[in-house]
Structure 1
Amino acid sequence: MPERARPIRTALPAALVAAAGLLLTACGTTPEPAAPARPETAKSESAKPETVKAAATLGGPGSACALPVSFSVAEDWKPEAVKNPEDPEFAALTRQGPVTVRCEVDAKPSGNIGYLRVWTAPKGPARTALEGFVTAEKGSSAVAYRETKAGALPATEVTYTVDGEEKRAFAVSTPKGTVIVHLGGLDTDEHRAMLPAYELAKSTVKAL
């Protein structure tokens, strides 16, 4: 029987491959540079969360608002107690579901358009009060709850949207009642810009 033909080797000598590379470069084609190693690592190291400086403590003795909790207020945010929140004439503005607004912390002096509002309800489960608060806000959708911490206290947090605008709040229960801290803004961009101030408040909550 005739001997089976052996396959022809197609690999080129190293010298010929190098010469071909030089020829391509001489003709104006530059080899692409090698991709940097592990770009995702460099990205994660450079992406640091924004922080804000605490300027005052709200809720304690001598502060602008008397509350069942205290927390740190971001620099240039201005707190002010809500006057006559129990007045039934202004219930449409001062009540939302089971809670009543007690304090508003204005972000405008810091350059943002928005606020932190502090609401209170009688003593009870934090999640129940928070669910009633969100349900009472017309147009709320994409509602998501999660259990978390506010300072050292167990808390429930919610994120949701109203007419496409992002909103969020957290609630804690204390011996003096339930407290909801809500972040509101002109639009979603303002909301996201103010998140560091919201996170500062949440991370520093203490029951009084």
Structure 2
Amino acid sequence: RAVGGAGSGCVLPVSFALAERWAPKAVEDPEDPEFAALTRQGPATVRCEVDAKPAGHVGFLRVWTAGKGSARAALEGFVAAERNTSAVAYRESRSGAGPVTEVTYTVRDAVAEESKEERAFAVATPKGTVIVHLGGLDTEEHRAMVPAYELARTTLRTR
């Protein structure tokens, strides 16, 4: 089962395989300025949320799109827009669609007084840059969901 094509839950400039029982859902009206704080991060707008709850995890793979240009520049802008980040590490990697830029970083939650790991990859496509982000409730949940993230990265195809 894959997400990205017609009838998959989210129509995207890319497609990738979904981990078992993960459920994709398109974000409705992501361009609505009233919800910009939730639907925009730096240069990117969220388009799809792939929910891990049906698979027993607390978190999402979120797919964001940005304008045309360098995948790294879009990813750097995406991370820079996140508050309280540290240990930010970029690397060039491969995907099913070719080269991607990946990032791992830590986000400090001041309310919960704890830090958690996050990661994302970005790929430039003819329709703009796509960022696939994995968060999670906490670092333990995040690490448990990394196989779904890796499946998305390794099976990624541009459409």
TM-score, normalised relative to structure 2? 0.95
The letter for the 1-side match of 2:44 is V
Question: Which amino acid is 1:198 matched to?
Answer: Y
- Corresponding residue for residue 75 of structure 1: 20
Q: How many residues align?
A: 153
Larger radius of gyration: 1
Runs (5+) with no aligned partner, structure 2: 109-114
- Equivalents in 1 of 2:80, 2:10: separation in Å? 26
For residues 63 and 153 of structure 1, the distance between their equivalents in structure 2, rounded to whole angstroms, comes to 23
In structure 1, distance between residues paired with 2:132 and 2:28: 18
1:191 and 2:142 matched: yes
- Tell me the secondary structure at the aligned position of residue 121 of structure 2: strand
Distance 1:81 1:62 in 2: 11
User: Equivalent residue for 1:207?
Assistant: 158
> Percent of pairs identical after alignment?
72
| 1:104 equivalent in alignment to 2:49 | yes
The separation in 2 between residues aligned to 1:180 and 1:152, in whole angstroms, is 13
In 2, distance between residues paired with 1:62 and 1:111?
24
The equivalent residue for 2:36 is 91
1:4-41 CA distances to partner (integer Å, 9 max, x unpaired)? xxxxxxxxxxxxxxxxxxxxxxxxxxxxxxxxxxxxxx
Question: What's the counterpart of residue 132 of structure 1?
Answer: 77
Q: CA RMSD in A?
A: 0.6
State the SS of the aligned residue for 1:74. Answer: coil
When you count strand as a share of all residues, which structure comes out higher?
2
1:61 deviates by 2.3
Are the equivalent residues in 1 in contact too, given 2:97–2:158 (CA < 8 A)?
Answer: no
Deviation at 1:63, TM superposition (A): 1.3
Where does 1:47-86 land on structure 2 (aligned, <5 Å)? 56-86=1-31
Q: Using CA pairs below 8 Å that are at least 6 residues apart, which structure has the higher relative contact order? A: 2
